[in-house]
Amino acid sequence: MEMQPQPDRSVPADAPLPGVVPDAYRTVTPAPRSRKALWWTLGIVGAVMSLFGCCAIASLAVFSSGNGLPASGDSVAVIYIDGQISGVSSSGLSGGSITPEGVIAQIKRAEEDPAVKAIIFRIDSPGGTASASEEIATEVARCTKPTLASVGDVGASGAYMIASQCDEIMSTNSSAVGSIGVIMEIGDYSELARKLGVKFLAIHEGEFKDAGSPWRGLTTTETAMLQADVRLTYDNFISIVAKGRDMSDADVRKLATGWAWPGVKAKSLGLVDSIGNYTDAVNRAGKLGKIEGEPVIVTYSDESLGTLLQQLTGLVDRLGALGASAPSLTPSTPTIH
């Protein structure tokens, strides 16, 4: 009888055939990198689109009434001048300051809106640069609709220049109003540098190119030239206020001492027309605009979509860090505060 070969019981029945790799030991081939990159790209694009959507919604929402609804009916536009007034950088970023671009954009929107019958400039500012303040004041003077300046804590210097171009100025009894004057500040660290044994050399062409350098004092000629520049700015300031307030240059000059008076005193000096708070200002603006009943309050935002996006992504902070530089060698911009 022929014997059949018996299977080798020492080898598991499920053992793989020779040359065959078990599934458990197979190497899993990763997904192509292009597919992962695609998902990352889609995710980033989605996040950016969501960010743009939020910015767009914010931009649509900035034109609203006091209760957050679209403005309807006869309205009073309120434009805020709260903080330092300064020019804007080439990047379009203001760094939180009140800029001519932002305020002028709001003025134009108020002027073009047929529902807006009057404009309130709600002011709480110590002033700022002479040029930026004049830019805003010029545009306020061009308004065809009734304008009212409502001063909160402070309406001084450049902020008062702006207020003076309104049809009327209202403040509280305690508001600080006025401060008509100009200042240019220049540091002089030359004595400190001499004591420390530090020398600072400025290589330049043009006799006065390094005038105002903090590492040396001003010459007699430079001091006289800068004083003349400040005087021109000061005279221009007086002229603007005189025209806006319908006063003579001589009368304004008497008050142009750089001092800010309490609102009650400013009223007696002719710098303010009436005393009242924000509610009183809204009611008065409604009357100036010939609005029957309680006016709808309209506010605007001076932030552009691009600026909002830059701020949300943190680009502003990074640009600020990269843009840090050594102190300027030129005198500071004339400031009216």
Active site residues: 157, 209
* 120: helix, strand or coil: strand
**Closest to 148 (Cα-Cα) out of 127, 126, 163:** 163
Handedness of CA 170, 173, 174, 176 (dihedral sign): positive
R_g (Cα) of the chain, nearest Å: 33
**Which residues have CB under 8 Å from 176's CB, separation 6+?**
153, 154, 155, 156, 260, 261, 262, 263
Single-letter code of the amino acid located at 243: K
The two tokens of residue 248 are 């003579």
* Contact between 105 and 139 (Cβ < 8 Å): no
**CA pair distance 133, 264, nearest whole angstrom:** 24
Q: Which residues contact 34 (CB under 8 A, 6 or more apart)?
A: none
CA geometry: angle at 16 spanning 11 and 21, to 5°? 140
**What is the enclosing helix (H) or strand (E) of 116?**
strand 116-125
Render 161-220 in DSSP notation, one character per residue. HHHTTSSEEEE-TT-EEE----B------HHHHHHHT-------SSTTTTTT-TTSPPPH
213, burial (CB in 10 Å: exposed 0-12, middle 13-18, buried 19+): buried
Spell out the residues 6+ positions from residue 161 whose beta carbon is closer than 8 angstroms to its own: 127, 133, 134, 137, 180, 237, 240, 241, 336
In whole angstroms, what is the distance from residue 238 CA to residue 254 CA?
10
* Greatest distance between any 2 Cα atoms in the chain: 141
